Amino acid sequence: MTALHLLSLICTALLLQVAVGVGVMLWRRRALLAAQEPEPLPQRVDAPQGLSAAGAWPGWREFRVTRRQFEDEAKTQCSFHLQPLDGAPLPAFRPGQYLSFALQLARPADVAAGAAVGAAAEAATRAEFRLTRCYSLSDRPDPAEYRITVKRVPPPLGQETLPPGLSSTHFHDDVQVGAVLQVKAPAGHFYIDPDALVPAILIAGGIGITPMMSMLRWCVAQQPERMVLLFYGVRSSADHAFKQTLEALAQAHPAFKLHVVYSRPEPDDELGQDYQHRGYIDLPLLRMHLPPGRNQFYVCGPPPMMKSLVPALREWGVSKEDLHFEAFGPASMRPVSPMTNEPLSAASIALDIKFTRSGRSLLWDGGDANLLDFAERHGVAVDSGCRSGSCGTCATKLLGGTVDYAELPDYDIAPGACLLCVGKPASALVLEA
Residues of 346-365 as b/e, b for ≥16 C-beta within 10 angstroms? ebeeebebbbeebeeebebe
- The rounded distance, in Å, linking the Cα atoms of 368 and 349 is 13
Please say whether the beta carbons of 145 and 90 come within 8 A. yes
* CATH entry 3.40.50.10710 includes domain 351-431: no
Task: Write the pLDDT tens digit of every residue in 317-329.
Answer: 999 999 999 876 4
Exposed/middle/buried for residue 300 (C-beta within 10 Å: 0-12, 13-18, 19+): buried
Q: Name the architecture of domain 200-327.
A: 3-Layer(aba) Sandwich (3.40)
What pLDDT sits at residue 13? 62
Which residues, including other chains, have CB under 8 Å from residue 208's CB and lie 6 or more apart? 299, 300, 301, 302, 305, 326, 328
61-108+124-187 to CATH, choices 3.90.1140.10, 3.40.50.300, 1.10.10.10, 2.40.30.10: 2.40.30.10
What pLDDT sits at residue 83? 98
What pLDDT sits at residue 313? 97
| Residue numbers of the chain with a pLDDT score lower than 50 | 29-50, 52, 108-126, 329-347
- Every domain of the chain and the residues it spans: 61-108+124-187, 200-327, 351-431
Residue ranges with strand state E in 31-97: 61-70, 77-84
Task: Write the pLDDT tens digit of every residue in 131-178.
Answer: 888 899 999 999 999 999 999 988 877 777 777 888 999 999 999 999
- The rounded distance, in Å, linking the Cα atoms of 34 and 31 is 5
User: How far lies 304's CA from each of 205, 327, 413, in Å?
Assistant: 10, 10, 29
Residues of 388-423 as b/e, b for ≥16 C-beta within 10 angstroms? bbbbbbbbbebeebebebbeebbbebeeeebbbbbb
